């Protein structure tokens, strides 16, 4: 379902000059049915109490879900835009790196539903997010 030819290098190049680059999200892996990216827990992504900010987790999740849907529908002349996102923050994180993995739950003509698991270096679940993408005709 993820088209052949989608590369980590291409996704990282595409993400320059926006929030993705600012919070240091870096795509690390592309598979047939998933995309992975990592984000450091740093001064850019922490809240005042020193923990990973829930909003930063949502930025990682939305980035992954949007990009995953986008690489599927763009070759079809379509556009994927976020319709709804939810995030359950399971565990705090003070430093290190988190990795998000987006996998499809539903790929339809007008909507996509993606699940994004954000984990720490030991594979412990930090955040579980779901994003619904609206698939539109490109104007």
What domains lie within the chain, and their CATH numbers? 8-137 (3.10.129.10)
| Inter-CA distances, 92 with 3, 51, 113, Å | 34, 6, 25
- Catalytic-role residue among 13, 21, 38, 62: 62
Q: What is the pTM of this model?
A: 0.98
pLDDT tens digits, the chain, 139 residues: what are they?
999 999 999 999 999 999 999 999 999 999 999 999 999 999 999 999 999 999 999 999 999 999 999 999 999 999 999 999 999 999 999 999 999 999 999 999 999 999 999 999 999 999 999 999 999 999 8
Q: Is 62 a catalytic residue?
A: yes
């Amino acid at each position: 379902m993820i088209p052949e030819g989608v590369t980590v290098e291409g996704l990282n190049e595409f993400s320059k000059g926006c929030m993705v680059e600012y919070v240091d999200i870096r795509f690390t892996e592309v598979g047939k049915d998933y995309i992975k990216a990592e984000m450091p827990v740093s001064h850019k992504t922490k809240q005042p109490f020193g923990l990973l900010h829930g909003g930063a987790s949502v930025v990682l999740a939305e980035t992954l879900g949007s990009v995953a849907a986008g690489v599927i529908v763009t070759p079809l002349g379509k556009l994927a835009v976020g319709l709804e996102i939810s995030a359950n923050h399971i565990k705090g994180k003070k430093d290190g790196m988190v990795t998000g993995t987006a996998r499809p739950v539903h790929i339809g003509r007008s909507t996509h539903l993606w699940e994004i698991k954000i984990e720490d270096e030991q594979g412990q679940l930090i955040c579980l997010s779901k994003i619904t993408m609206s698939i539109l005709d490109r104007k």
